[in-house]
Amino acid sequence: MSETVNLEQLVISNMYSIEALVILLIEKGLITQEEILSKIKEAQLKNTRTGTN
């Protein structure tokens, strides 16, 4: 049985998945919160410059 989801549900599900992965990486000491925030800012700047945000 296939279930149809709307865009909002998909975005929220994606957000929770990413949050869980980031928390796991931080808890395991593989990345710091500062490093992940820095990478997010880099991606935002890159997307702003290329007009893909």
Digit-coded pLDDT (tens) for 10-37: 999 999 999 999 999 999 999 999 999 9
Long-range contacts of 3-12 (CB under 8 A, 24+ apart): none
* pLDDT for the residue 51: 77
The reply to whether 12 falls in a domain is yes
- H helical segments located in the chain: 7-27, 33-50
Residue 44: C-alpha distances to residues 3, 6, 19, 30 (Å): 32, 25, 17, 22
The reply to whether 2 falls in a domain is no
- The number of folded domains in the chain is 1
The reply to whether 11 falls in a domain is yes
The reply to whether 36 falls in a domain is yes
Q: Is the pTM of this model over 0.75?
A: no
Residue 53 scores a pLDDT above 70:
no
The reply to whether 30 falls in a domain is yes
* pLDDT for the residue 19: 97
Residue 7 scores a pLDDT above 70:
yes
Domain that holds residue 42: 7-50
The reply to whether 21 falls in a domain is yes
